Structure 1
């Protein structure tokens, strides 16, 4: 079987790196997109990996140029995996890569033409001190869901991957007064309230997260390839990872059903009666 070609950003650390290693182990090829090629670990300096400098701040023109390099790396690209939190950067990437994906011959290998956007447990449940980050993930969920319907006629798929807390460097450096890219900065007026308690919780679990990145990478590969624990499963439009993510997804679903039940007389009363 022809090896798949994966485009993985954030490939030199965390879940991105684990996914690269899993992909290589399975005999697939990787375009490793990183901000600093000089910092790529030695285990990525192997055959089957093409390292390219990539930044979500690229302009549309720079993104087009980058896409040409990425697609030329191995002559084609069948599966694209995007790990980012910036909504607009992902949109620019999708707009650039999608014409290439649409133009490819009909997929023959399982998982060919799959776009995986890294969402989060925060893509369907927002948390105190984390609202802006969660908003980007909610937006990504909406973009991916509509994209999936739009590209299905081309034999392409789009899926949000929704990990819970995994033991990566994601929470590192959030304790500073300026906050981080994922947490709002602390404000004295919220001391003793839920916003600061949420920050303290995140600091307390850093390095103790239950999720194993290597196992997450394995499940992602199996999901795309239709192998392992995902073999024979009905294809669904989302991929939750981690017990916390799955549990929270059930809770959110149950809350939605209960809300619809409680307010049925209200929402059913607002349509025209003709």
Structure 2
């Protein structure tokens, strides 16, 4: 089989980097889409990699022009991995509109603009895979992570619709749901979270004293407590993503489902959610049936 061409946003760190390295190891090629090409590690300064400057804040016209460059790098794109993004954290009351809008523009609208820009060429190929990196936070909302989780809930819904929309063109779309993996995800907020009660940054809303002693501020403390102690291994997580796309390894003979859970914490959350939904539907059956027209 010819080598696949992967377009991976946020390819210089975390899951993006590990997935890029896995793809290269398997003989594939990578378009490494990063905000700062100067920060690309030496491990990506090799044959088979084309580094492009990419920003989720690009307008639709700018993203369309960017997609032309991405496809021109190796003549095609087989796997579009929407990995880049960031987390704006804090209790819902602590957050502010401007930062919430920025969070949605990057984590949701930027990905939608990317998908729109790439789809005409993917349809022309009549083949391709779109992998949207969601989160365990796309399955349930966590205290002081509500806005970030809301963006992942949005991405989950968009991906489910997208998968049905593009299937007639020979394309496949799915959501990756990593739990807490040992990447720099929590590191981006630990400094601000411990600096002072009123600390603020692009990643962390200023704290309200009213939430001291509540689960919201316990979650803030856990940003530092669990940073570097997360259960998930990003090397193994990246390997599972590659295997899912390739239909190899642990996925040989398995159906490619809409959601790819990664990490024991995500697997547990998925089972808990399915039980909760079933229990709610069972307990409220008389109620939800009572609202139908009687004809």
Q: Tell me the TM-score range normalised by the shorter chain.
A: over 0.9
* Runs of 4+ off more than 6 Å: none
Deviations 1:240-269 (A, max 9, x none): 000000011000110000010110110011
- Choose the corresponding residue for 2:262, options 236, 241, 244: 241
Matches within 5 A, 1:124-273: 124-175=139-190, 176=192, 177-178=199-200, 180-181=202-203, 183-273=204-294
How big is the shift at 1:219? 0.2
Matches within 5 A, 1:95-134: 95-104=116-125, 106-107=126-127, 113-134=128-149
SS at match of 2:273: helix
**1:56 maps to which residue?**
56
Distance 2:205 2:200 in 1: 8
Contact 1:129 1:184 in 2 (8 A): no
SS at match of 2:189: coil
Change (3 A) 1:72 1:82: same
Scaled by the length of structure 1, the TM-score of the pair is 0.95
Contact 1:166 1:211 in 2 (8 A): yes
**1:110 maps to which residue?**
none
Larger fraction in helix: 2
**1:27 maps to which residue?**
27
Distance 1:25 1:16 in 2: 14
How big is the shift at 1:173? 3.3
Report how many aligned residue pairs link the two structures: 267
Q: What residue ranges of structure 2 are gaps of 5+ in the alignment? A: 86-106, 193-198
SS at match of 2:3: coil
Distance 1:69 1:51 in 2: 11
**2:65 maps to which residue?**
65
Aligned-residue CA RMSD in angstroms? 1.0
How big is the shift at 1:225? 0.3
**2:195 maps to which residue?**
none
